[in-house]
Structure 1
Amino acid sequence: MSWWEIVVIALAGLWAGTINTVVGSGTLVTFPVLVALGYPPVTATTSNAIGLITGTVTGAWGYRHELTGQRNRLIRYSIASFIGAIGGTILLLSLPPDAFEAIVPVLVGLAVLLVAVQPFLTRWVRRRRESGEVPVGPDAGTRHAPLLYFLIFLIGIYGGYFTAAQGIMLVGVMGLMLSEPLQRLNGFKNVLSAVVNLVAGTIYAFVAPISWPVVGILAVTSTIGGLIGAKIGRKLPPTVLRVIIVIIGLAAIVRLLTQ
């Protein structure tokens, strides 16, 4: 590995760690870089997943204040992500490389759409609550819990297979089904993404081809990026954060369609 390749990978890891914490989809920075440098797609995917673990954990820790009092919910959501991530890693190691990627642009597009329309749906739900058409209070929305867990599980499968843009999907789904501030949803997203990366990375480390020099570089720089992202993301107004999510999501679709 030459010095300029080290610099390129380091910068990609820094940017991925930052953007993963703010909105997700940092893999769409590092994965193409590794492939362009000559790493096989599977090795690029597995090395990327392990290398970005520290960055996702750092980002999740950076949002701990937004998640105060949410421990029980986080545990339940994390279990769904944990199980899904195991399924995703099995898919990566057993299916042809392009078997799952064919539907990725569709999934990312749906997530972007969910993020974009969430404010309108939120206002619609608020009006219905104020008119008494739907219940309010701590148990409101409980009937949607099984569907939410199932969707988090499916996103965990996707994240365990490819990881890119799983954060956008999580924010989109939770934004429609939970009456929570966007910053808290972003905190949920960071924790669940960290769970998926930890599970997938641990499995990959034992049974998949790995470039450990790449892992080391990404681990260091993505950690720094995660700290930067937590500082930036927690200070962004919800509207600005939503616009960034949509823009990154659209960029992710273009990148996936042109690979």
Structure 2
Amino acid sequence: MIWWHAVLIAAAGIWAGMINTVVGSGTLVTFPVLVALGYPPLTATTSNAIGLAPGTISGAVGYRHELRGQFRRMLTFVPASLVGAGCGTVLLLSLPPDAFETVVPALVGLAVVLVIIQPRVSTWVLRRRETSGKEQGTGSKVLLITLIFLIGVYGGYFTAAQGVMLMAVMGMLLSEPIQRLNGIKNVLAAVVNVVAGTVYAFIAPVSWPAIALLASGSIVGGWLGARVGRRLSPVALRAVIVVVGVAAMVQMIVRQV
């Protein structure tokens, strides 16, 4: 591996670890970097899942204070994410590689749209919390668990923006402070990445040098994201994600032409 490739991948891992902890969608940084350096899309996705998993764990540990009192809730959420991630990995490995390359631009586009509308969703959620003091009903709980499972399937197939999706659905169906939701999001994203990464490590095409660099960078980034994430400008982070995501989408479309 060329030395500046290694530096770029490690730097992307740090930035992705921070973004995953604070906002979500760190894959939109690392995925296009790997593709731009010549890695096939499938290998870039599987290597991402393994390499960014340690960062999601360090980010979840960094939010441990916000997770106090959430143990019983996590007992229902974690299995949904775990089973969903397993289904997503089966999908990725069962479908032909050209099917994945065809659907990736649409998935990246969906992720970019979710990142763009996240502020509006967050504003709507805050207004809802101010006007609603009702407890979550059984129907809402079933809906939330179902959505967490489906996001787990998506995350097992293509990890980008699963954190944004989780924040959106939990914000609409749970009455919790946004930082507590972020703590839950980090745990569920870590579960999905660990499950998918474990499967990919044994039966999918991966690049271990890239994984090592991403893992090292994402651990540092996850720790930094938990430490200083609240001081970073969400607007700046979102802008970077959107720019990188659009670039990745255009690049993938050009590769197919």
TM range (shorter): 0.7 to 0.9
1:48 is displaced (CA, Å) by: 1.1
Q: Tell me the residue number matched to 1:97.
A: 100
State the distance in 1 between where 2:114 and 2:224 align: 28
- Please name the residue that 1:258 is paired with: 250
Once the two structures are superposed, the pairs formed by residues 1-259 of structure 1 within 5 Å of their partners are: 1-95=1-95, 96-98=99-101, 100-101=103-104, 103-104=106-107, 105-106=109-110, 108-110=112-114, 112-113=116-117, 115-124=119-128, 126-127=130-131, 129=132, 136=134, 139-233=135-229, 235-236=230-231, 241=234, 243=235, 247=239, 250-251=242-243, 254-259=246-251
Aligned 8 A contact 2:121 2:168 in 1:
no
Which letter does structure 1 place at the counterpart of 2:117?
A: L
Q: What is the total number of aligned residue pairs between the two structures?
A: 247
- Does the Cα contact within 8 Å between 1:52 and 1:197 map onto a contact in 2? yes
Using the size of structure 1 for normalisation, the TM-score is 0.87
The alignment partner of 2:39 has SS state of coil
Contact in 2 for aligned 1:115/1:245 (Cα 8 Å): no
What is the CA-CA distance between 1:119 and the residue it aligns to? 2.4
Equivalents in 1 of 2:169, 2:244: separation in Å? 17
| 1:257 Cα deviation after fit | 3.5
Structure 1's unaligned 5+ residue stretches are 130-134
Percent identity at matched positions? 55
CA contact (8 A) 1:55 1:225 kept: yes
Task: Report SS of the residue matched to 1:209.
Answer: coil
1-structure distance, mates of 2:242, 2:5: 28
* CA shift in 2, pair 1:159/1:124, >3 Å: closer
Where does structure 2 lack aligned partners over 5 or more consecutive residues? 252-257
Q: Which runs of 4+ in 1 moved over 6 A?
A: none
The 2-side partners of 1:253 and 1:33 are apart by 11
**CA RMSD across the alignment:** 2.2
Equivalent residues of 1:28, 1:255 under 8 A apart: no
Alpha-carbon spacing, 1:89–1:152, altered in 2? closer, same or farther (3 Å): same
Q: Distance in 1 between matches of 2:169 and 2:243?
A: 19
* Equivalent position SS for 1:65: coil
Q: CA deviation at 1:113?
A: 3.0
The letter for the 2-side match of 1:64 is R
